Amino acid sequence: MANHKSALKRIRQAEKRKLHNRYYAKSMRSALRKLRATTDKAQATEMYPKVQKMLDKLAKNNIIHWKKAANLKSGVSKLIATLS
């Protein structure tokens, strides 16, 4: 257990940030799953900018790595291109 007030505060802040980051990472994964499950190209094309914006924001705030965001965007855009 922590011995200093500052250490206790750091523990509280870390827990709060962990929950915040987990929420946004989970919502990103859900949006990607929903986009990948779509078989209609028009609907997927409509959803793509929202998912792309979400990935960029998470990468900017260091919730996910910027290269992971780039790889996910690339994979989803390739998937959309293969839809008919």
pLDDT tens for each residue of 39-63: 999 999 999 999 999 999 999 999 9
**pLDDT tens by residue, 1-16:** 788 999 999 999 999 9
Model confidence at 21, in pLDDT bands (50, 70, 90)? very high
Q: Structure pTM?
A: 0.83
Buried b (16+ CB within 10 A) or exposed e, 41-63: eeebeebbeebeebbeebbeeeb
